[in-house]
Each structure stands twice: as structure tokens, then as C-alpha cells.
């Protein structure tokens, strides 16, 4: 692939994307990572381990930071990068990250993918699925019309509610039970 095309794809991916080395040190990051994850001090992420930059709670366990804590050997990010360096790309591994934001702990559900670019670099992609998983929680739905009450206390069609949060499009059909009820005598 032409270098310019790769750079354009990398920069415009709708997920957090990083180029990392064997120690999961960040060599580069895309626009989405800078905007929604790293913030205005993103430039300070370069050559630092991802767990230190993301403020993974395990990176605070020892003074050595990311990769030195007792839980780091189970880290999906670190293990995905290691697998990719061995020539086995890691695709869509789901995990929960526990991060420090100031004095608070923040949980983030993510999907991790890692692909080897060359002998020294891995493309690490982190997709935040926290909002999608929250759809699995209780959702206020009208017992009669089946509209859903959104966060603004507005009742909206279920298709609109789910579609806006997941990008899912719906098609409509009629199930066999409703077909019998609505169109008796039709086959």
C-alpha cells in the first residue's frame, strides 16, 4: 500500500489507533486518539508505554509503570502486541480497562486489534464499546407502544434510539404470529 494512503487511513480511522513498539511504547497516534483519549497533551505520549499514557490502574502498582505490575502479564493490549510480533495478528479481543482520571477510576470497555507492520512496529487499534455495552442495561420502554425514553426524557421509537447509538439500520417485517393476527386466512 502506498505510504500516503496508509497515513490517510490511519489518521481517519474512527477508533483509537497507535503505532507501537515491542514494549508497547507509542510511536504515533491518530486524530481520534488525540481528540477523544489523549487530549491536548497528546505529544507527551510519544515514546511512553500505553498503560502509562492511558493511566491504567496497573501502571501505578510499581515505580516502573506499565508492564511491571503483577496484572500486566494478563494485559490484553500487551499480549495482543506480543502476538502480533510473533506474526499472529490479534483481532477483536474484548476487555475492560480500568483507568485513572484524576482521583477517580473510570471503566472503559474496549475491543483490541493488533497487526504487525514491520519488524519493529505494530498497528494497535482500540475501539471504545462502552456505550454499546450500556445498551445491555435496563432501558425504559413503554409497555404499550414500545417507545424508549432517552436521556433527555423524550420518548422515541426503538429504531431511532438504537440506531443513533449503534449505527444499526433496521428493516421491517411481520412475524408469523402477527401475520395470523393481522391477516387471518392469508398463507
Delineate the domains of the chain, giving CATH numbers in brackets.
Answer: 3-130 (3.30.450.20), 135-182 (no CATH)
Helix (H), strand (E), coil (C) string for 67-136? CCCCCHHHCHHHHHHHHHHCCCCEEEEEEEEEEEECCEEEEEEEEEEEEECCCCCEEEEEEECHHHHHCC
What pTM was computed for the model?
A: 0.71
The pLDDT value recorded for residue 79 is 95
The pLDDT value recorded for residue 76 is 95
The pLDDT value recorded for residue 139 is 81
In this structure, are residues 92 and 113 in contact, taking their beta carbons and an 8 Å threshold?
yes
Instruction: Please list the ranges in the chain whose pLDDT falls under 50.
Output: none
Greatest pairwise CA separation for the chain in angstroms = 75
Amino acid at each position: 500500500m502506498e505510504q500516503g494512503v496508509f497515513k490517510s487511513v490511519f489518521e481517519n480511522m474512527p477508533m483509537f489507533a497507535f503505532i507501537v513498539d515491542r514494549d508497547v511504547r507509542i510511536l504515533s497516534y491518530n486524530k481520534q486518539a488525540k481528540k477523544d483519549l489523549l487530549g491536548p497533551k497528546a505529544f507527551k505520549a510519544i515514546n511512553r508505554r500505553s498503560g502509562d499514557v492511558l493511566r491504567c490502574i496497573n501502571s501505578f502498582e510499581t515505580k516502573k509503570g506499565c508492564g511491571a505490575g503483577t496484572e500486566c502479564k494478563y494485559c490484553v493490549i500487551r499480549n495482543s502486541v506480543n502476538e502480533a510480533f510473533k506474526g499472529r495478528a490479534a483481532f477483536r479481543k474484548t476487555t475492560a480497562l480500568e483507568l485513572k482520571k484524576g482521583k477517580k477510576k473510570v471503566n472503559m470497555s474496549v475491543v483490541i486489534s493488533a497487526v504487525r507492520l514491520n519488524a519493529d512496529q505494530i498497528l494497535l487499534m482500540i475501539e471504545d464499546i462502552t456505550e454499546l455495552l450500556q445498551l445491555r442495561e435496563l432501558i425504559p420502554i413503554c409497555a404499550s407502544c414500545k417507545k424508549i425514553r432517552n436521556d433527555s426524557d423524550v420518548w422515541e421509537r426503538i429504531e431511532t434510539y438504537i440506531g443513533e447509538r449503534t449505527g444499526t439500520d433496521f428493516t421491517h417485517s411481520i412475524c408469523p404470529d402477527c401475520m395470523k393476527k393481522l391477516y387471518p386466512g392469508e398463507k
